[in-house]
Structure 1
Amino acid sequence: MSENAGTEQDTEREADGDEQDERSELVARVAAHDEELATAVEDRITEAETAADDARERAEELESSLARTRADFENYKDRAEKRREQAATRATADLVEKLTDVRNNLLRALDQEADADIRPGVESTLETFDRVLEEEGVTPIEPEPGTEVDPERHEVMVRVASPEPEDTVAEVYDPGYETDDTVIEAAKVTVSDGSGDDGDSEESDGGDSE
């Protein structure tokens, strides 16, 4: 074998060795990259699982808190309703106690002799009754004649001949009652037709001439 042929073979072997080294290095880099990628994916999966566990735990806490809040609210409603019923019962008892005093006064008035004048007793009882209404915040609705009709507070019974302006209150038939801004019972009124005639006629003096 010539010297040149041996040199060429050595060169080829060196080239093959370099190529193999490059291939091994490339494989090693790819393997390292794959390992890093796999590690990163595993870390992301772990983070996602941890976040999911935290979210699930938070949801359970919120659900438990909501259940407690709902139960507390139901208990509050029950207590509030019980207090309202108790307050209504006490208010009714207080009102009945006041009204029984009025009734007892009326019974005493009726217990008088048949020919006795019971008007003073009735007037006194009425004053007591009015005082009870005032203490309860109830005021009478008694519009003056000539007052404009308020459909919310006045119930028109009939139109009558009256000197009052047309479509105004002529007379109160029954007073109404209200408390604050709430009408308990509208006043029953008659309404003027504006004719100017109140139904009372004056005798003519034409027949008195001498």
Structure 2
Amino acid sequence: MSDDEDTDGVAGDGSESGGSAGEGADAADHDTGDAGGTRPDAENADEGDPDEDADDADVTTDERVAELEAELADREERIAELEERLDDREDRIADLEDRLKRKQADFQNYKKRAERKREDLKERATEDLVERLLDVRDNLRRGLEADHEDVASLRDGVEMTLREFDRVLEEENVSEIAPDPGDEIDPSRHEVMMRVDADVPEDTVADLYAPGYQMADRVIRPAQVTVSTGPTEGEAGEAGDDGEETASDGGDPEATAEEGSVEEST
């Protein structure tokens, strides 16, 4: 029995060994199968799913189209805003041009009215002056028609008429320009007629030929004058001699008194 048991034990061990070998072969086959099966999966992963790729492309295209449409809408809105602002500017420009034309027309009308008013004032002022001068003319005419016994009465009448005429000029703010000999020449108020020798400094008024007149600060007619070229040498010498004689005569009062007494006795 012991021998059979030993044989059975050996056989059992062989069976176990065989079972282990079979299990190792199955495991190897399984690993080989896994390795062989992994290669197609990797290829499928690399190739991808065509339907999924098409869907992704469609999504990307749709998003881009949406972005472009949104940008286009923004630009159209901006264009509409700019067009509205342009219309407002054009309306503003048209309004300003219209107002400018009206202002120009109003200014031209104002200039015409001012010119007419100035002419009316000038005519009325002239009429008023002529009306007052008519009184002077009437007085002159009456003076000529009246019988005068002597020249003195005629002179008195002329002087009275002249005073009346000067009063009219004074009321019009008209004054006479009448420089004295020796006054400086004023080109704006004096008109030089000629240059003459005179006993006044050179380039000064020698004599008044005709008086001038000015209204306020405006010269109506300049005074006509002659201008001195200075005294001649002979006149200067005579003036010096006269001065010396006067000085010599005034230096001896007793001689002068004696001459005076002799003349009185004679």
TM band (smaller chain): 0.7 to 0.9
> TM-score, normalization: structure 2?
0.67
Q: Aligned-pair distance for 1:114?
A: 5.2
- In the aligned structure 1, how far is the partner of 2:68 from the partner of 2:174? 89
Which letter does structure 2 place at the counterpart of 1:78?
K
Are residue 157 (structure 1) and residue 193 (structure 2) matched?
yes
Q: Is the 8 A contact 2:177 2:213 kept in 1?
A: yes
Shift >4 Å, 4+ stretches:
7-14
Answer yes or no: is the 8 Å Cα contact 1:145–1:170 preserved in 2: yes
Q: Which runs of 5+ in 2 are unaligned?
A: 1-35, 236-266
- Choose which of 83, 97, 101 in structure 1 pairs with 2:117: 83
Aligned to 1:169: 205
Distance 1:159 1:13, change over 3 A: closer
Question: Could you tell me which of 141, 158, 172 is aligned with 2:177?
Answer: 141
1: CA distance, partners of 2:75 / 2:195 = 93
Amino acid in structure 2 at the alignment position of 1:151: P
Whether 2:53 is the aligned partner of 1:19: answer yes
- Native 8 Å contact 1:172 1:187 kept in 2: yes
Aligned to 1:40: 74
Residue 181 of structure 1 corresponds to: 217
> How far apart are residue 13 of structure 1 and its match?
8.7
Contact preservation (8 Å) 1:146, 1:164: yes
Paired with 2:169 and 2:179, the residues of 1 have a C-alpha distance of 18
Give the Cα separation in 2 of the matches to 1:152 and 1:110: 38
Structure 2 residue identity aligned to 1:164: V
- Alignment correspondent of 1:132: 168
One-letter identity of the residue aligned with 2:64: V
Read off the aligned partner of 2:182 and give its amino acid letter.
Answer: G
Which digits, 9 at most, give the CA deviation of each residue in 1:34-74, with x for residues without a partner? Answer: 11111012112211211121111111111111111111111
Structure 1 or 2, whichever has the larger Rg, is: 2
Distance 1:94 1:12 in 2: 120
Structure possessing the higher relative contact order (Cα contacts under 8 Å, 6 or more residues apart): 1
The answer to whether the 8 Å contact 2:148/2:154 transfers is no
- 2:99 aligns with 65
Which range moves more in the overlay, 90-99 or 20-29?
Answer: 20-29
Separation (CA, whole Å) in 2 of partners of 1:67 and 1:17: 74
What is the Cα deviation at residue 14 of structure 1?
A: 6.1
CA contact under 8 A between 1:112 and 1:118: conserved in structure 2?
no
Shift in Å, 1:163: 1.7
Inter-partner Cα distance in structure 1 for 2:83 and 2:163: 82
Q: Indicate conservation of the 8 Å contact 1:154/1:189, yes or no.
A: yes
Name whichever of 17-26 and 27-36 sits farther off.
Answer: 17-26
Q: Which whole-Å CA distance do the structure 2 matches of 1:141 and 1:98 have between them?
A: 22
SS of alignment partner, residue 147 of structure 1? coil
* CA-CA distance at 1:11 after TM superposition: 5.6
AA of the residue aligned to 1:37: E
Task: Point out the structure with the larger helix share.
Answer: 2
**Residue aligning to 2:9:** none
Aligned to 1:200: none
Per the alignment, do residues 161 and 115 of structure 1 end up closer, same or farther by CA in structure 2, a change over 3 Å counting? farther
Greater CA drift, 124-133 or 10-19: 10-19
Which TM-score applies when normalising by structure 1? 0.83
Deviation at 1:193, TM superposition (A): 2.8
Moved more, 103-112 or 114-123: 114-123
| Alignment match, 1:206 | none
Q: How many residues of Structure 1 are paired with residues of Structure 2 in the alignment?
A: 194
Does residue 94 of structure 1 match 2:90? no
> CA deviation digits over 1:97-123, x for unaligned, max 9?
111111111111111215443111111
